[in-house]
Amino acid sequence: MAGRAGMNGPHWRRVLATLGNTDARIAYAQIVLGAAHADLLPDVKPQRRQRALAALLESGLVGRQASGGLVAQDSIFRDLLAQQPRRQPQTGLDRFMRLGRIERYPANVAERRALLARIANEIIEPGEKLTERQINDRLLSYTDDVVLLRRYMIDFGLLQRTATGSSYSLPE
């Protein structure tokens, strides 16, 4: 089938990008509801119509019937979900992270400190001095709330800030 990425099946980004296109989304709805090929996107210029239908075919959302008509692929969403990795039970500090980002902060103070220490040692080298913007850019890969994370690190003594607030470093 078109739209398959090797043996892994359709790619979710391509499916979402296709559904993000208004013409493709309307055509997909029409196909799901059983519209004939000739009746798809009647008020759309032929070139736009062809692009929308090509995107649907390429993404794997629809397939061609032997008669040349289009049919919605019943298995597309099941295939996409099957590609998701099974979540393994996590232990240690990893249970507070998801895909390398903080999912939640540990309630236990010792665990919170350990998590923050690990992140601090990953973002800054001993002796390195960074501006607030540089620290924020590095912390952004761990959380969207960089201010809270930076504050926690300072409060736990894992990161020190100059009195003027112009630079940050690991404590000496």
3-state SS string for 105-152: CCCCHHHHHHHHHHHHHHHCCCCCCECHHHHHHHHCCCCCCHHHHHHH
Q: Which residues of 83-105 are buried (b: 16+ CB within 10 A; e: fewer)?
A: eeeeeeeeeebeebbeeeebeee
Q: How confident is the model at residue 89 (pLDDT cuts 50, 70, 90)?
A: low
Residue-wise pLDDT for 55-83, tens only, equals: 999 999 999 999 889 999 989 998 888 77
Question: β-strand 160-161 against 168-169: which pairing, if any?
Answer: antiparallel
Widest Cα–Cα separation across the chain: 75
pLDDT of amino acid 3:
40
Predicted pLDDT of residue 81: 82
